[in-house]
Amino acid sequence: MDGSIARPRPLLALGIRLLTALALATMAMLVKLAGERGAHLVELIFWRQLLTTGLIAVGLALTGRLAMLRTTRLPAHARRAATGLVGMLFTYGAVLLLPLAEATTLSFTAPIFAVLIALLLFREKIGPYRWAAVVIGFAGVLVVMQPGNGTAEGVTLTGVIVGLIAPLMVALISFQIQDLNTTETPWSIVFWFAALSTPVAALALPFVMGSHDATTWGIILAMALMGACAQMLLTTSLRFGSAAVILLMDYTALLWASFYGIYVFDRAAPASLWLGAPLIIAAGLLIAWRERQLARQRATASRAGQE
Instruction: Please tell me the predicted confidence (pLDDT) of residue 300.
Output: 80
Residue 122 DSSP SS3: helix
Q: How far apart are CA 167 and CA 171, in angstroms?
A: 6
Measured in residues, the chain has a length of: 307
Instruction: Please tell me the predicted confidence (pLDDT) of residue 287.
Output: 87
CB-based contact 37:219 (threshold 8 Å): yes
DSSP letter string over 71-98?
A: -S-HHHHHHHHHHHHHHHHHHHHHHHHS
Q: Which residues contact 234 (CB under 8 A, 6 or more apart)?
A: 17, 20
Residue 65 DSSP SS3: coil
Instruction: Please tell me the predicted confidence (pLDDT) of residue 297.
Output: 82
pLDDT at 88 over 50: yes
Please report which confidence band the pLDDT of residue 243 belongs to, taking 50, 70 and 90 as the band edges.
Answer: low
Per-residue CA distances from 178 to 72, 89, 189, 227 (Å)? 16, 22, 11, 21
Percent of the chain with pLDDT over 70: 91
* Domain range summary for the chain, segments of one domain joined by +: 10-306
CA-wise closest residue to 254 among 92, 87, 78, 99: 99
CB-based contact 104:96 (threshold 8 Å): no
CB-based contact 32:95 (threshold 8 Å): yes
pLDDT at 6 over 60: no
Please report which confidence band the pLDDT of residue 3 belongs to, taking 50, 70 and 90 as the band edges.
Answer: very low
In this predicted model, which residue has the larger pLDDT, 87 or 178? 87
Please report which confidence band the pLDDT of residue 151 belongs to, taking 50, 70 and 90 as the band edges.
Answer: low
Q: How far apart are CA 56 and CA 187, in angstroms?
A: 8
Across the range 146-164, mean pLDDT stands at: 76
Q: How far apart are CA 232 and CA 20, in angstroms?
A: 9
Q: How far apart are CA 125 and CA 131, in angstroms?
A: 10
Instruction: Please tell me the predicted confidence (pLDDT) of residue 8.
Output: 66
CA angle 105, 110, 113 (to 5 degrees): 125
> 112-138: per-residue pLDDT in tens?
998 888 888 888 888 899 899 999 999
Mean of per-residue pLDDT scores for the chain: 87
Q: How far apart are CA 173 and CA 65, in angstroms?
A: 26
> 205-242: per-residue pLDDT in tens?
999 988 899 999 999 999 999 998 888 787 777 667 66
In this predicted model, which residue has the larger pLDDT, 241 or 79? 79
Instruction: Please tell me the predicted confidence (pLDDT) of residue 278.
Output: 94
